[in-house]
Structure 1
Amino acid sequence: MTRNTTTTHAGAGGRRRHPQRRVRRRTRPLDSFASLKRELAVIIVLSSAIAFAMCWFLLKYGWSGWIAMPLTLVVALGITYWFSRGLTTPLRQMRDASEAMAEGDYSVRVEVDPGRADEIGQLARAFNQMAGELEHADQMRRDMVANVSHELRTPVSALQAMVENMADGVTDPTPANLESILDQTQHLGDLIAFLLDLSRMEAGAASLQIERFDLAEFLDDTVEPLELADGGHAHDIRLDVPREVTLEGDRDRLRQLFTNVIANALKHSPDGTAVLIEAHEDEARGTIVTNVVNFGSQIAPEDRSAIFRRFVQGKHGPGTESGGTGLGLSIARWAAQLHGGTVRVVDDERGADFEITLPKHHVSGQ
């Protein structure tokens, strides 16, 4: 399980991350108005009043109307232009920021007065939020390229080396060597499955084949291949699941959910330690709660939500494995949400505790 501090990895070979850059603006006299219509009304009334007073003054002191009227019009236009700059400046800045973003610089922001409450102020803040989300999405894209490239390169390089050695007669195709090739092939298959799951997540939904099944038998079947894959790590997987508790859902999607959470606990548990899987039925809420407890380790509260984000990998303590795509827990949360359930980290003195809550009966439309 991911522990304490989480880090994300920048994409290898990607664009250099720009420091966040803001387009600055000055506060204008009309920024305190809460409505653009009110600001325009004030500008019109103010310029009209000044133009009327100036025209009356010039005519009173004998100026010709052919001179007073054009002069008054120029002054009124100047006043209108000066006051309207505060309205249009953020729009020009957003135009410049959009051009910078089109060139790949997602760090640009429009600096807007926090006290500005009109529609343009709201638009500027929404623009900054959108720019932040685009910057995050671009970083995630580069992270994905880096993670997938790394994960593909390792098994492919190992396969190439083993096959070349066999082709050159350096090594013999013994059962042990063939098993190593099979392991690397399985690694590639798992990565492809992760990427397919990611595409389903991006699509926002997946078809579910709902059936009712026994929870204890389901978890037994789920844990068995994980125990075999655990190899020489000597982890003790303990099941404390009541018999005759049934659950409705899609077996394949729920297997993804439990496999990813349990495998995560095994992966980040020191050799020779135990992982507890316990379940109980909450009759009052109509749910089944399963806890996967990794004894001895903990996850800091401020990191508990971040570890479910895509491509986020944690720092690993001594005696635990590292690496991975950073997709497992994100896919687990997606599978839980498809069933109207949740997966989260809860406080537990025994260690890091991943709590999976699923409705006992599937509700159509979830």
Structure 2
Amino acid sequence: MSNETPNQHAASRSGTRHRDERPIGRFSSLKTELSLLIVIATAIAFIMAWILLKVGWSGWLAMPLTLLVALGITYLFSRGMTAPLRQIRDVAKVMADGDYTVRVDDAATARNDEIGQLARSFNEMAGELQHADQMRRDMVANVSHELRTPVSALQAMVENMADGVTEPTPANLEGILNQTHRLSDLIAFLLDLSRMEAGAASLNIESFDFADFIDETVEPLEIADAGHAHTIHMNIPQGIIMEGDQDRLRQLFTNIIGNALKHSPDGTAVLIEAREDEDNGTVVTNVVNFGSQIEPEARSDIFRRFVKGKTGPGTESGGTGLGLSISRWAAQLHGGTVKVVDDVRGADFEITLPKYH
């Protein structure tokens, strides 16, 4: 059974496992170590030369031997001092080949000098690269899955109609339309995600009435929700004027309210209430999904990309898993926040936005 730490195991896989070979102690400055090395090598060379001359050695013999000993001491000391640099070089080569799991070992990171700081920073960078690479892999896999599902459904429906297996009835055509809408939504989400990653999103700031804005946002959601018998209660004070990009904010509220409707049983209600926080100059909106709750440990995860909510025990929602991530991004663009707060009534998404920019 191996007693290696994860870092040591990673380093040994790259052929870079080392122990601390420094005869000099653990100093907090590489300059101190180098200065001490010069002092020790010079002192030993001087003492050795003095002893050899005292015992009658010729200067032509004593001086070369003294220089060789001094060089040997310098090499021995410097080898331990530079070992982590060689290890970082070797690990960097392995990372350049695409393996981001390797790390500089504990002996290097335990140093207190500049090389130790470099080793720790290098390991942090390697961890970030490994995380980014895993995120990239997960995103490619998730996007492929999300695209394949509606495309496969569309292909099957169209092939059945082309072969005469099914008739192009209004119900079948509506099924095709629903799948194209799903594809369109996913593509729109991915475009927003690319803007979010690039930091290239710009805001078209304008003043608007918040109550009218919420009415306009809710209306198409009520139409799309037909057949589920949900009731949307709104408690929005009149006269709240705020500034923001209405398109981005509509994404934010559409995703949050749509999420509440999607995770509410048929025939239940969703509450949208807002208030002004005069002290902080913000508008606080709560979207409450009555009856259901989100566990505290899951409240941060649901805002991660491609994390889907549950419509029932063990059952994922049919969404893309990007809506809440896009919502949080839209809020952050405006200097606001979106979070789940404690509420005995049910799952409560609290949106805080500044009134003015």
Same fold (TM over 0.5): yes
Greater mean alpha carbon deviation, residues 292-301 or residues 66-75: 292-301
Equivalent residue, structure 1, for 2:91: 97
Q: Counterpart amino acid of 2:123?
A: N
Q: 1:74-93 residue pairs with structure 2 within 5 A?
A: 74-93=68-87
SS of residue matched to 1:22? helix
1:142 Cα deviation (Å)? 0.9
Report how many aligned residue pairs link the two structures.
Answer: 344
| Equivalent residue for 1:124, pick from 93, 96, 119 | 119
Structure 1 stretch displaced more, 241-250 or 80-89? 80-89
Pairwise CA distance, 1:182? 0.9
Counterpart of 1:16?
A: none
Say which of 49, 56, 61 aligns to 1:67.
61
Give the Å deviation of 1:115. Answer: 4.4
Would you say 1:22 and 2:17 are equivalent positions? no
Kept after mapping to 1: 8 A contact 2:289/2:347: yes
Please tell me the residue identity of whatever aligns with 2:287: V
What is the CA distance between 1:243 and its match in structure 2? 1.6
Task: Give the letter aligned to residue 107 of structure 1.
Answer: T
Amino acid at match of 2:98: G
Query: How far apart, in 2, do the equivalents of 1:201 and 1:183 lie?
Result: 27
Q: Which moved more, 1:180-189 or 1:66-75?
A: 66-75
> Which stretch shifts more, 278-287 or 315-324?
315-324
**AA aligned opposite 2:236:** V
- Any residues of structure 2 matched to 1:44-193 within 5 Å, and which? 44-113=38-107, 115-193=110-188
* Counterpart contact for 1:31–1:116, Cα < 8 Å: no
C-alpha distance 58-324 of structure 1, shift in aligned 2 (>3 A) = farther
1:154-194 deviations in Å (ceiling 9; x for gaps)? 11111111111111122221211111111111111001101
The answer on whether the counterparts of 1:290 and 1:356 sit within 8 Å (CA) in structure 2 is yes
Taking the aligned partners of 1:64 and 1:313, their CA distance within structure 2 comes to 85
How far residue 272 of structure 1 moved from its aligned partner, in angstroms, is 4.0
SS in structure 1 at match of 2:93? helix
CA contact (8 A) 1:197 1:331 kept: yes
* Equivalent-residue separation in structure 1 for 2:295 and 2:164 (angstroms): 52
- How far has the Cα of 1:225 moved from its partner? 2.3
Cα displacement string for residues 35-91 of structure 1 (whole angstroms, at most 9, x for unaligned residues): 221121121112221222222222222222222222222222222222222322222
CA RMSD between the two structures: 2.3
Task: Pick from 208, 211, 219 the counterpart of residue 216 of structure 1.
Answer: 211
**Can you give the 5+ residue segments of structure 1 that lack an aligned partner in the other structure?**
1-18
1:274 CA drift (Å): 3.2
Superposition deviation, residue 248 in structure 1:
0.8
- CA spacing shift, 1:151–1:74, aligned 2, 3 Å: same
CA separation of 1:100 and 1:176: change in aligned 2, threshold 3 A = same
Asked whether the 8 Å contact 2:262–2:311 carries over to 1, the reply is: no
- Calculate the TM-score normalised by the size of structure 2: 0.88
**Mapped contact 1:51–1:72 kept (Cα < 8 A):** yes
Give, in whole Å, the separation in 1 of the partners of 2:130 and 2:295: 26
